[in-house]
Amino acid sequence: MAYLPGMSQPPLTDRTALALHRARADGSAWFLHEAAMDEVQERLKDVNRSFTAPAIVTAHPELWRDAVPGARVVPEAEVLDLAPGAHDLVIHAMCLHWADDPVGQLIQCRRTLREDGLLLVAMLGGETLAELRAVLGQAEAEVAGGMSPRVAPMGEIRELGALLGRAGLALPVADVSTLRVRYRDLRHLAGDLRAMGEANALAARHRATAPRAMFARADALYRDAFPDADGISATFQMLFLTGWAPSDTQQKPLRPGSARTRLADALAVPELETKR
């Protein structure tokens, strides 16, 4: 269905189910958050700047509380508890992929940043659980004669990088890190997703329990298509977005045609004329 400007789209996420899944997360599979935290801390070292008023947006404050010294921890929500101009650093930690309005989340973060403040987003990207999405779709089509949404759609790096500019952030950068994890079987993978609070919370999901035959078939398909030694392989794509609140002190790109030095001179090579 196409949506016209001004129409309200149905929500992607069942917020009640998502909150329940997160509350049940038992902390036995925090490796994605730990990897994201390590990356965030390394990137902050590379910035080589002191931040005096940091904030962290997270669904798991018990895990991210000490990621940045002195940070104010803000619960993930549709409306974030962030005051305008209150922070010089905001970390949006591993929850933007569940947002119904990711641009709105970025805009809220932009508004709370002081001039030349930094936003750093860590989230899951579009290649995450690509194997699981494929085998569940095929198994359900074979067993039940149809397909239902079972893995949340997640943004692609180009799309998400463009959102930074739409949110009014300068010097946007988007990059990716991919983790491939070996599991004994599909049940083991599903257990990890529940333990990290990332089980299916799509608003359009089927609420009835799927037949056991479907998951048995999905497990067989998974083993055939994506084997890893004596188990199966699962992809987790981690995306990292950075953008700055605009400031007159930031570097600006030169206007086209304003260069004063020829590239050929800089490279110490002869300049060749092109034939027309």
Tens-digit pLDDT string for the chain (276 aa): 233 333 356 788 899 999 999 999 988 899 999 999 999 999 999 998 899 999 999 999 999 999 999 999 999 999 999 999 999 999 999 999 999 999 999 999 999 999 999 999 999 999 999 999 999 999 989 998 776 777 877 878 888 888 999 999 999 999 999 999 999 999 999 999 999 999 988 887 877 777 889 999 999 999 999 999 999 999 999 999 999 999 887 666 555 555 566 656 656 666 656 554
Closest CA to 91 of 237, 242, 215: 242
How far is the CA of 212 from the CAs of 70, 151, 186, 199, in angstroms? 48, 18, 12, 18
- The fourth-level CATH superfamily of domain 15-246 is Vaccinia Virus protein VP39 (3.40.50.150)
